[in-house]
Amino acid sequence: MSLTLVSIGAVAGLAPAASLRALAAGGAVSVPAGLGVELGDLLTRTVAGGGGRLVPFEAADPAEIEELAHRAGSEDVLVALAGPHGPHLARVLRARVAEPLETVPPGASFDESLLGQELVSLKRLVDVLRVECPWDREQTPRDIIGYTVEEVYELADAVADGDLEAERGELGDLLLQVVLLALMLEEQRAGDLGSVTHEIEAKLVRRHPHIFAGAVAATTAEVKGRWEQIKVEQEGREGIFHDVPRGAPALLHARKLQQRAAAVGFDWSTAAEGFHKIAEEHDELAELFAEAACLAPSGPADPDRHDPRVLHEVGDLLFATVNVARLLHVDPELALRETSRRFERRVTGAAAMAAAEGHPWSGLDLTRQEAYYQRAKAAEVTAAGDAQ
């Protein structure tokens, strides 16, 4: 006994020929109720032509889905995934029915057909919103790009948390921004979602000749080196620091500058070689603190924040740290975000511990706050060890 899922699509004109042949083989074909006239007529003619019959069911009714899954355990069940909810129905049935489960078209072609349907459905939905929703009509690319950056950071949070459900949701939010920006591009007759997709495909093929042509690149370093070479020779990039985004966050901007310099050989060979630079920059900043201490009549003092050397030396220290992070293949932006989240979590925990013992956090001196912080840190480490 088996379940066979047949990809049809949301509209009659997109039904795969292999799927229509499968429906014309005879027998009962389960199909979602309430299909449009054109799609419904196509399925009726196709199935009846092979001597079979359509068996409608409510795709939104969990009880009817369970009935389909139950039948697949004792008989051969053929389901036509027709209409806008076909891809979701496929996921639900796959989760409920054990093998054997067959698909038409077979293999990867089945999943690709469902993916294509989902993406086209999203594109059509955005098209409708752009015309009919007052808010969507007013948006410009400059408006949307702010939301896009925000969604990237929310996605970064989800990935850092290891929250796969949140990651899936944030990827959807980000995809929406891409589809909407591509639509705005189309409105300006400067491209569309199809041309955007084609151009990134062409770029990936062009930049991976060791996969799609006869070039050889056995290591990551060789791949990166060839990538930068292609940018200059084939894509007309000019200068060492070509296409470094000016508006990027400072950590990303520094890392991109360092990557461009590395592409022309101006780089340490290892992180260990670059690590001493952090100590060197630390010492130069420490000299400003020593100088301030000598000038202070009573105890330690901070350097004058208006002294341009302070900004300079702090920047050098950060730049050197970013460089070592890059050489260690650690994204400094993500590393700093993780540290910030860890700090936030531990201070919150420390304040909760203090409050539980009757001590308002803001009323404690630094020594006692630090003691609670260390307790919160130890509790977090213990909890992490227990979870492993």
Residue bearing tokens 């994204």: 331
**Predicted local distance difference test score (pLDDT) of residue 388:** 57
Burial class of 323 by CB neighbour count within 10 A (0 to 12, 13 to 18, 19+): buried
pLDDT at 235: 66
Homologous superfamily assigned to 139-192: MazG-like (1.10.287.1080)
CATH 1.10.3720.10 is held by the domain 250-330: no
Measure the CA–CA gap between 323 and 316, rounded to whole angstroms.
Answer: 10
Q: Tell me whether domains 3-106 and 250-330 share a fold.
A: no
The residue extents of the domains of the chain are 3-106, 139-192, 250-330, 334-387
Half-sphere exposure of residue 268, counting CA atoms within 13 Å on the CB side? 16
Q: What is the mean pLDDT of each run of 10 residues along the chain (388 residues)?
A: 90 89 91 91 93 92 89 89 92 84 92 93 95 95 91 89 93 96 96 95 88 80 73 68 78 89 88 95 94 80 90 95 94 89 94 95 95 94 72
- Whole-angstrom CA distances from 344 to 46, 188, 292 are 62, 44, 31
Quick: pLDDT tens for 269-299: 999 999 999 999 999 999 999 988 888 777 6
Q: Under CATH, which number does the domain 3-106 receive?
A: 3.40.1010.10
- Start-to-end CA span in the chain (Å): 41
Helix-helix angle 86-96:62-71, to 10 degrees: 50
pTM listed for this prediction: 0.73
